[in-house]
Structures are given as structure tokens and as C-alpha cells.
Amino acid sequence: MASSSRPPPPGVTQRPVRRYSPESGLAPPESDAVALEEPLDIRVSGDTVALTMRMPGADRFLVTGFLFSEGLLHSADDLGGLVHCGRPGEEGYGNVVEVTPAPGLVLDLERVSASRRGTLTTAACGVCGRRSVEDLIAACHPVPPGPGLAASVLARAPDVLRTRQPHFEHTGGVHAAAALDAEGHVLAAFEDVGRHNAVDKVVGALVLEHGLRSARATRPGAFQPTLLVVSGRAGFDILQKAAVARFPLVASVSAPTSLSIDLAERAGITLATFVRGGRFNVHTHPERLRVG
């Protein structure tokens, strides 16, 4: 990756590389910046719920967002404790996060074990090991109408996201996601080696810092985000998480899939893709966009 003038952030490490060009052949080894990838063991009351490959950092948001997307948590009120099992000040050292439910609450771990086959949740796939797509769709309630959004705000969203990608600047090897309000202001933004991890971090931050609640626990006047923007393609896993978090709009710089479009239509989400250079495609529910 091309060098950056700014110092690398945590989550970037160095590995040797030899660069080839037709003019000079294979160059001598040099140090190259790459994204750090390590496993994270997510445990609830001592039981492992998932093992995911991620870029260390914002682990409490990642874990909260993951459990929220799985339907195990419905608000921050469901959390009794969330402890990173590592050295103080060195997030990622122990690569284990222990979650304790709120007093008197028992989290339904069968929701995960019944729909997964115990497989590793990799950095590339948020739905690996699922037995049925219906397992995921069942958790997706239709999102409320939500505020309208100016088309110009949606068109600028990837540019806003790009300003929050220091790890990509150094490595070129990470994805990013951000939550924006109706004026285009960033509510939360994170990077990760996995698309779905970046989204989980965003959702977790909204749960813990903005009071996001699931459809089951929502109260009148509760916080609702407006726009989720992602750096990669808009796959089914991204739309599923957006639906559970009640995002009325999703913007992607890349392509959709057939299932992501189907889920967006069913969940009432406005899905825009290939959002680049001030242009985009709208696949579902264009009525939310204000043009002109």
C-alpha cells in the first residue's frame, strides 16, 4: 500500500514485502503496512457464542452490535456487564470478551446455536453456517417510515465515510461503515477487516451511546438512525443487520445482490448502490428520497 504522511493508527502492523515491476524486476524486501487480524471469542455467561476474525479495536461495540443483530440483546438495558479479558489499556490482547446479562435476564443462546452449525464466523461472512435464510429474515421487522433524506446527502455519504478510514489509508485492506443522521452528520464510523464486523461496531455504538433499541423494545420517541453507508457491496448480511437496527436507508459504494434487494423491499428499506461521483442507483423504496 502507498505510504501515508500520517502515523499509522492502532490496528495496523508491519510485514515484509517484495514489489515487482517489469522495469526493475523483484525489489529487495521492505516493510509494508497491513491490517491486523486476530480472533475474538465472544462469550455470554462463560459460554462461547461466536468466534470471529476481526481487526482489534472497539471490541465492546463489535460484541454489542453482534448480539443485537442476532436478536439476543434488544437494548443497552439488557447488558449487565461486558468485560474485555486482556491487559488494561491493551484492547485485543486477550481476544476474549465476556458478556453478562442484566440481573434477572437470561439471554436466549439457542437463537444462535439453533441457526448456526458451530462454524467459525470469519471476517468475510456474517451469515456463514446458517441453516436457513428464514432464520435471519425472521428477525427483520419492517422499519418505520423514518425521516426523508435529501438525495444530495446520500450521494455524498461515501465521501463522508472516506474521511473516517485511517486504516484503509495505510493498508488498503479494510472495510468501513458509518451511521449518518438526516443532515449527513456522522453518528458512528468504524473500520474492520470484515464488512459485517464494521457494521456490528457501528450498531453497537448506536446501542451503547445513542440508545438504539430493537423493534421489540422500542418506545415512542426512541432514537432511530437514518442512513447506513458501507464501503463494500450491499450483501444480504449487511441488509439483515440494517433491518434489525431499523435503518430506513442503506447506501453502498458497490453492487447489491438479489437477496439483499429482496430483503430491502420486504423490510421497507431504501437501498442505494454504486453511490459514486454524485450518482447512485435506487433499488427499493425511492419515496424516502427528496430530489431537487
CATH number of residue 192's parent domain: 3.40.140.10
Residues 120 and 159 in one domain: no
Instruction: Note down pLDDT in tens along the chain; length 292 residues.
Output: 545 667 888 889 999 999 999 999 999 999 999 999 999 999 999 889 999 999 998 999 999 999 999 989 999 999 999 988 765 555 555 789 999 999 988 887 776 654 444 444 544 455 554 555 566 566 577 888 777 899 999 999 999 999 999 999 999 989 999 999 999 999 999 999 999 999 999 999 999 999 999 988 878 778 889 999 999 899 999 999 999 999 999 999 999 999 999 999 999 999 999 999 999 999 999 999 999 7
Residues 130 and 158 in one domain: no
What's the pLDDT score for residue 124?
A: 47
Domain count, the chain: 2
Residues 67 and 162 in one domain: no
What's the pLDDT score for residue 110?
A: 72
What's the pLDDT score for residue 137?
A: 63
Domain contains 10: no
What's the pLDDT score for residue 278?
A: 94
What's the pLDDT score for residue 198?
A: 97
Residue 125 bears catalytic tag: yes
C-alpha cell recorded at residue 128: 456463514
Q: How far is 148 from 121, CA to CA, in rounded Å?
A: 35
What is the pTM assigned to this prediction?
0.88
Residues 166 and 207 in one domain: yes
β-pair partners for 279: 276
Domain contains 15: no
Domain contains 261: yes
- Tell which of 108, 134, 160 closes a domain: 134
What's the pLDDT score for residue 135?
A: 60
Residues 162 and 232 in one domain: yes
Domain contains 16: no
Residues 118 and 211 in one domain: no
Domain contains 20: no
What's the pLDDT score for residue 158?
A: 95
Residues 228 and 259 in one domain: yes
Domain contains 128: yes
Domain contains 254: yes
State the residue range of the domain holding 49.
38-134
Domain contains 29: no
Residues 130 and 153 in one domain: no
- For position 56, which CATH number holds? 3.10.20.10
Residues 103 and 153 in one domain: no
- For residues 274, 279, 285, 290, the Cα torsion angle rounded to the nearest 10 degrees is 150
> Which amino acid belongs to residue 168?
F
What's the pLDDT score for residue 107?
A: 83
Catalytic residue among 85, 125, 128, 140: 125
182-185: list long-range contacts, CB under 8 Å, 24+ apart: 182/147, 182/148, 182/149, 182/153, 182/226, 182/227, 183/153, 184/153, 184/156, 184/157, 184/160, 184/227
What's the pLDDT score for residue 128?
A: 53
- Tell which of 105, 134, 163 closes a domain: 134
